[in-house]
Chains A and B, each alone.
Chain A
Amino acid sequence: MANILSEILRHGLRSESFSWPQADLDTWQQALWQRFGRALVIRHVDAGSCNGCELEIHALNAPQYNLTGLGLRFSASPRHADLLLVTGPVSRHMEEALRRTYAALPEPRWVVAVGDCGHDGGCFGESYACLGGVRRVIPVDVVVVGCPPTPLQLLEGIWRAVTSARDSTPRQPE
């Protein structure tokens, strides 16, 4: 125990105060507070990704990004989530699971499609096995391109989704 404490103390606080055009830490927290009155809860679905985008979603949990400090949390169940983070070109074997996961999110809900594959199928395209992008299956609010997009690009996409003014009419996939 003493060893762990001394190791933590030796490293000190690793979280970084980063900022980009849209937001700094205070603006984030204020915006989430106004919109949700609590943390933003995210559910991730891998819909056929190569696992590259997942590496960067994991990297968001590195202490440098201070995810909980920003007011973001990943949930084990879609029923507790506000936002669905979807990776992959949507393999046809994951189509049904993705639909069901989306259906399990309570309204209001947001969808962020992640990566070049989530955008349009990327290098896997559209085939007997792939649908070629998340918006073919469920409505998408924001697309974060990249192969894979970096943690900061992911944060920026999440920010765009939750701060966008959006009407509440139900949407259909393309």
Chain B
Amino acid sequence: MPIVRTLPGTVPAWQETVSREDLRNLCLGQKERGARLVSLWGSDEGEETFVLHLALAVQEGLCWVRVPLPARDPTYPALDDVFANANRLQRATHDLLGLLAQGAADGRPWLRHDAWPPDRFPLRKGEGGEAYPPRVREPYPFVTVSGQGVHEIPVGPVHAGVIEPGHFRFSVVGERVLRLDTQLGYTHKGIEKRAESLAPAELIHLAGRVSGDSTVAGAWATAQALESILGRQIPERAEWLRALWLERERLVNHLGDLGYLCNDVGLSAGFSLFWALKETALRTHESLVGHRYLRDQIQLGGVVRALTASDCQSLREECVTLEKEVYRLRDLLQEHAGVQDRYLGTGRVPPELAARLGLVGLAGRASAQAWDLRVSCPTPPYAQAEVRMATRTQGDVAARVAVRFDEIFESLRLIHHFVEHLPSGPSHWDDSPPLCAGIGVGWVEGWRGEVFVALEMGARGQVRRWHPEDVSMSNWPVLEHAVQGNIVPDFPLINKSFNLSYSGQDG
């Protein structure tokens, strides 16, 4: 029987320790009951032991599974046939820590290109401190497609637009994409090694920079994990203000993406109209908290800036204006035959495929995967606000656009609700509690999907192991399926409709 330990904090979570012999059975059983793999990572525990960690989303909350592995044989049975998104997670865990998934369908490196040799593992104790390990160049074995008329189009890592770097290898016949193989990892910055030995405030700072467009979600998830370790709740007003900023982050990102989704089908007027709105909203942030993207607003124990009554009033007024404007723009897009022609049926991920591949977040909801932490596992103040989840079943670009519109309107309603009923009281702890050792999790529904954090603190209040997981890690492989059978010129549109994070997945 596994040993079960309930974790403190707002996220319903518990930890189970199982042997590697029992791991597959546990996963198969959980999968049977509808569990989903949120993250998979490893840790070097010293004293000749490694631990493989899994985070599973189950009906009751989050199950953190620990699997001790001996240092002389750090292997475990592969899980990519149980959870499809385990594929890249297993490969990343091998690249960084040398834990090997035996029997995995794909044994190619993932995060390691040439910055360190294949027999060195930066996350092991005593490793990764050296500034520049020797480079070992080996070409990435892309999946090839053969046949009459098949040719390859290599794209990246430097793309034509202002985009993050990554390599896409298209196998095409004429204009039609037969297969896409992606190589990411170009922006690997070694953040998990960097985090080791950081103090809590520095860690939250770093957490807000895992994926630059999800700074509130990232910082909140890490703060949540830290606060649960310290065993103290944050003031009610602070919870509400965090949720307020999270919804504002969702709002501005959706506005920007919808602008680009107009741009990518040649509707430049739509781009300008959406970006004029986004810019106005960013300036509101600047005037309210002094940062256009709300960076570093979340601190241990609360938020930095308490809002005044007039701040709340201006936010309410902006909600009313934005709602009207976005309704007009939605009508504009819906009535535009050219736009709809490009959106409908493009980049389709049917619900069955989405379920099999473990698609989650915004893109998941557009393919009938009804999971939104604000609804499925709500922490305050979402529980009281009764969030309405946006879902669609078509799973195409049009569905992902529709979910974005729905979520903008819901975020505007929530922002209005939060400022209207903002509880009084302090917005942060007025003292700093003594630091202590422990483990904790954070789990927040960012604009793109869930942001998960597992954290272990040492006795002197320093980070022992911090593992953040952006939803992008699980969703990137689905893009390869979404483009199959589409034409190459539709790839930028399909890619933007997902808008996954490179930095967030590269770590």
Contacts and interface: CB of A to CB of B under 8 A. Distances in A.
Given A53-B212, A97-B165, A123 B276 contact: no
B373 interface: no
Contacts of B503: 48-51
Interface size class of B (residues with CB under 8 A): 35 or more
A46 B502 CA distance: 11
Interface stretch (A4-12, A17-25, A29-37, A158-166): A4-12
A128 B133 contact: yes
Interface in A79-127: 88-89, 91-94, 97, 101, 122-127
A51 B256 contact: no
A49 B132 contact: no
B335 A3 contact: yes
Contact of A123 (B158, B161, B205): B205
Interface of B: 113-116, 122, 128-133, 135, 157-158, 160-165, 185-191, 193-194, 202, 205-206, 209-213, 215, 256, 267, 269-273, 275-276, 278-279, 282, 292-293, 295, 328-329, 331-332, 335-336, 501-503, 506
Contacts of B205: 123
Contact of A44 (B116, B135, B162): B162
B335 A89 contact: no
B295 A147 contact: yes
A129 B206 CA distance: 16
A140 interface: no
B164 A123 contact: no
B212 A128 contact: no
Given A48-B503, A61-B275, 14 more contacts: A4-B336, A46-B163, A48-B165, A51-B213, A59-B278, A59-B279, A59-B282, A76-B160, A91-B115, A91-B186, A123-B202, A124-B189, A124-B209, A128-B130
Contact of B162 (A54, A89, A129): A54
20 contacts: A3-B332, A50-B209, A50-B212, A52-B295, A54-B163, A55-B212, A56-B292, A59-B275, A59-B282, A62-B278, A74-B162, A91-B188, A92-B132, A93-B187, A123-B205, A124-B191, A127-B193, A128-B129, A128-B190, A148-B293
A129 B188 contact: yes
Contact of B157 (A55, A57, A94): A94
Contacts of A91: 115, 186-189, 506
A97 B157 contact: yes
A27 interface: no
Contact of B269 (A7, A57, A94): A7
Interface of A: 3-4, 7-8, 11, 14, 44-59, 61-64, 74, 76-78, 88-89, 91-94, 97, 101, 122-130, 147-148, 150
Given A50-B212, A124-B189, A76 B161 contact: yes
B162 A14 contact: no
B279 A148 contact: no
Most buried by A among B113, B209, B271, B293: B209
B453 to A, nearest CB: 16
Contacts of B190: 124, 127-130
